[in-house]
Amino acid sequence: MIEKMKKTAVLCQARHRDEVLGSLRDLGVMHLSDTPSHSQGLDALMAERESVVRTMQVLSERGGKGVAGRADCDFAAVDGEVQRLIAEEAALQGRIAALSSERERIALLGSFDPDAFRSLVDMGIFKGIWIGSDKDMKALAASEGVRFIEVAAEGKQRAAVILSGDIPEGLTLSRFALPEKPLDAIDSELSAKMEAAGKAAASIAAEAVHLPLYRAQLARLDEAISFEKAREAMAGDDIACITGYIPASDEAAFKEFAGRNGCAYMLSDPDDDDNPPTKIRYKGFVRIVKPVFDILGTVPGYREYDISSYFLVFFALFFAMIMGDAGYGLIFIILGIAMQVKAKKASDINLLLYVVGAATFVWGALTGTWFGSEGILVKIPFLQKLVFPPLANYPDLFGLDSAYTQNMLMKFCFIIGTVQLSLARVMNIIRKAREKDLSLVAEAGWLIDAILLYFLALNLVIGEPFPVSVVIKGVLIGFVLVCVFSAQGPGIRFSEGLKHGLGGFFTTFLDTISSFSNLMSYIRLFAVGMASLAIAQSFNSMGEGMFGGVLTIVGILIIILGHVLNLVMGLLSVVVHGVRLNLLEFSGALGMEWAGYNYEPFRKTVQDKAENS
């Protein structure tokens, strides 16, 4: 259920702003509107937060994310030491990179004393060292007045000491810059710096024990940032004001806060132009679907439907049909049990695994699918008693033709689609009836279309006979109802609504075609389920073909890895197809845009030490 919100404003004397905000934060029910993203104080806190996040990332990478430690140490002292170690390591790595580059540059000449060579250049004995290709050296040798000694060669690269003469134009020789240190000295320093860098890295890894301290500091900074945003939003020279929304159920507590703090306030229902946050109260068992919405990041608008209960039912069914295997259902149930035992309590995710696992188990049992193996079904006759023959994936065992069972599976998919899409139209009719909105007649037209298009789909896909003329006439009636009544509504004159409705004739025509394609899209449940079965059967055949002798173990591994891959692909298919049918086809028929945003009240998120003691 989407909770009703109240639009509110709080006013107080500017000099009491911080005290009022502190009390408002303790109350923890007001979602603030239009908080700033920049200010001097806020930018400083954000910069500090970024530093903490970067340091946490370094510590996590070096020392792991599960390191145990204390969160009550002096953060400033610990962070100062960690930053010193990180800076020290960065400086060492910079020096190592420079030394490595220099070593690579002078490696061609080997180890020599650069200071002694400079002295010889200063005395005029040598003119310097030049580097070039083999072709350039041959051209240099053919030049008159140039004396040189080739001192090193590697591949096509050559190094020569010029004794006298000038380098002729046109050659690509480059003068070699003498190093500050000889090669062996560079190697010695490089080794020492690498050893020091290793020690610094080990020290940083050891500091990962303080990750809980950093997490606590990050939580404090997030709370401070939230307060600073509220403080900047509550601006004013004499009177400070801040606006937002509160749940209607918290109105009494909010009024008590205002009276206790001597604040003026305003409470009203949101206007049509307002966009309040969405707070969903999940009732009972339906809350287990919340992790799915959290992962998807979908939030219904404040004035849209809460479809969580319908989503859970259809999601479990779609999950079962896509995974399609009773053995896989058992795996999900066992996984849920293992997670519950480890956590020593049942979370919403555990319960969701039980639900989808049980649904998959039941569907797999009804279709006779156990790890994609017909042999299991043959060797355990009891499992055959659980099968509903018209939906069986191995129809030969029940004296049925495969074409018949596949048609029944497709028909079942269309039934599901018709039920879900019709449910959306019925929900719209009920809602509009409460609002005394005449456009509910248009929703009745869409309902007629949804039901009749089901029979058209059966006729086109599996050849089930049905008078096409009846479908055409019925769809035409629904089309007319939509055109006439879709633009009607409270406060709108019938003639005006009729004008706009007829003006959208072409759009309604396209939407009618889209309604048929939406129904047809439910056949993906059949197609993806059959694909999953085919993959399981293929890996079973590959593995069983190796049974006998030393290759038996290889065959077993192929079967196990194949089913693991099939499970992963099935989960991806659930997201792509199962979720799509709920969030696009079903929600689209409801007119939902999922344009909402979560209710996030201004509240205290970090307990003081005194509160913990």
Q: What would the mean pLDDT of 246-268 be, rounded to a whole number?
A: 94
Q: What is the pLDDT of residue 171?
A: 81
Q: What is the pLDDT of residue 157?
A: 84
- Which runs of consecutive H residues, i.e. helices, occur in 66-168? 75-106, 114-122, 134-141
Mean per-residue pLDDT over the chain, rounded: 91
Q: What is the pLDDT of residue 72?
A: 61
pLDDT above 90 covers what percent of the chain? Answer: 70
pLDDT at 382 over 90: yes
Least Cα distance to 528 among 333, 320, 354 occurs for: 320
Q: Are 258 and 30 in contact (CB under 8 A)?
A: no
Q: What is the pLDDT of residue 164?
A: 87
Residue-wise pLDDT for 296-347, tens only, equals: 889 999 999 999 999 999 999 999 999 999 999 999 999 999 999 998 888 8
Q: Are 485 and 450 in contact (CB under 8 A)?
A: no
Q: Buried b vs exposed e over 155-191: b needs ≥16 C-beta within 10 Å?
A: eeebbbbbeeeebeeebebeebeebebbbeebeeebe
CA angle 506, 509, 511 (to 5 degrees): 110
Q: For residues 142 and 171, give the distance between their C-alpha atoms in angstroms, rounded to a whole number.
A: 12
Q: What would the mean pLDDT of 532-559 be, rounded to a whole number?
A: 91
Q: Would you tell me the crossing angle of helices 308-323 and 348-367 to the nearest 10 degrees? A: 50
For the CA atoms of 378, 382, 388, 390, the dihedral, rounded to the nearest 10 degrees, stands at: 30
Residue-wise pLDDT for 175-185, tens only, equals: 888 998 899 99
More confident call, 41 vs 156: 41
Convert 461-505 into a string of H (helix), E (strand) and C (coil).
HCCCCCCHHHHHHHHHHHHHHHHHHCCCCCCCCHHHHHHHHHHCH
- Return the domain boundaries, the chain: 112-181, 284-590
Residue-wise pLDDT for 80-127, tens only, equals: 999 999 999 999 999 999 999 999 988 888 888 889 988 988 888 888
Residue-wise pLDDT for 137-163, tens only, equals: 888 888 888 888 888 888 888 899 988
In order of 187, 189, 196, 208, the CA distances from 200 in angstroms are 20, 16, 6, 13
Q: What is the pLDDT of residue 467?
A: 86
